Amino acid sequence: MTAAVFDPSVNVTAAPPPRPSKIGQTVAAALVGVVILAAGAGLQISWNAVPQLPARIADFLALMFASPDWGRLPRALLETWRSISMAWIGAILCVVLAIPLGMLTAHGVGPAWLRAILRALFAVIRAVPEVVIALILLTVTGLTPFTGALALGIAGIGTQGKWVYEAIESAPQGASEAVRAAGGTTAQIVRWALWPAVAPALMSFALYRFEINIRTSAVLGLVGAGGIGSMLSNYTNFREWDTVGMLLIVVVMATMIMDAVSGAIRRRIMEGSRARGMARSS
C-alpha cells in the first residue's frame, strides 16, 4: 500500500457556505418601524411639550406627597375595605363558576361540541375589559360596589376557566386511566382522579385572581363602581392633590399587604402539594 502524496498545487480549501439572507429581517424591522411611526402620528403627540414632562411630573408629585392630608384617612380605610370586599366577592363568584365550566372544557371530560362552545365563550369574555363590563352593568345595578364585584366576577371567568382546563389537561393521566379502566364514569374520574391532582393549583389560581381583582377594583371605582377608586376619582377632579397623595399611599400599602398575604398562602399551598406528591412517590 502506497502512502498518499500531498500535492500543493491542488486547492483543497472548501468553499465557504453562503451568507444567510437578511432580507426577511430587514423587511420585518422596516414594518415594525412603520407601525411605530404610524402609532406615534395617530397619538397627536406634542413633541415640544415632551422635554417639560419630567419637571411637570415632579411638581405634581410634590403636590401629592410633600404634605399628604391624613384627615380623611378613616374614610379612605373604609373605602379600601369596600374595594377589598368587592375583589373578594368577585373572586369567589369567578371561581364558583369557572371551575365547573373549566372542567367541562378539558379534553376527556366534556363532549367536543360543549368544549368548543365554552372555549369560545372564555375567549370572548377575555376580550372584554372589566371596565366595559362594569359600564354595561351600571345600567342595571346602579353605582354600587356590587356592580364592581359582578364585573370582576364575570371578567375573571374567561381567564380562570382557561387556567382550569389547562391545569386538568396537563395533570398526570395515570390516576384517570386507572379509574377509567375500573369502569368509572366521567364524574367519578373527575372526583377521584382529576380533582385531587389539580386542587392545589386551582386554589392557587383562585388566590391569584383575588390579587388581580384588588388592583382592578381601584380602576373600576373610577367609573363609579364604588370603593377607593371612586374616592380617588372625586378628589382628582377637584384637584385636591394632598388628599390624592394620601389615597395613593393607602392604595399602594393595602395592595402590597394583600399581595404578600395571598402570595404566602399560595406558596404554602403549592409547597404542601409538592410535599404530598413526594410522600406518595416514596
Record the cell numbers describing residue 224, joined without a space. 363609579
| CB contact set of 106 (below 8 Å; sequence gap of 6+) | 115, 164, 165, 168, 169, 194
The whole-number pLDDT of residue 127 equals: 92
Domains along the chain with CATH numbers: 74-281 (1.10.3720.10)
What is the tens place of the pLDDT at every residue in 192-232?
Answer: 888 888 888 888 888 888 888 888 888 887 777 778 888 88
Task: Reply yes or no on whether the pLDDT at 116 is more than 90.
Answer: yes
pTM value is: 0.74
- What is the rounded average pLDDT for all residues in the chain? 83
What is the tens place of the pLDDT at every residue in 212-223?
Answer: 888 888 888 777
The whole-number pLDDT of residue 280 equals: 54
Task: Reply yes or no on whether the pLDDT at 42 is more than 60.
Answer: yes
Determine the Cα–Cα distance for residues 98 and 92; give it in Å rounded to an integer.
10
Kindly indicate the confidence band of residue 276, based on its pLDDT and cuts at 50, 70 and 90.
low
The phi-psi region of residue 246 (left if phi > 0; otherwise alpha if psi is between -120 and 50; otherwise beta) is alpha
Determine the Cα–Cα distance for residues 35 and 50; give it in Å rounded to an integer.
21
The whole-number pLDDT of residue 119 equals: 94
**118 or 146: which carries more pLDDT confidence?**
118
What is the tens place of the pLDDT at every residue in 85-110?
Answer: 999 999 999 999 999 999 999 888 88
The whole-number pLDDT of residue 15 equals: 63
User: What average pLDDT does the segment 246-252 reach?
Assistant: 91
Q: Is 146 exposed, middle or buried (0-12, 13-18, 19+ CB in 10 A)?
A: middle
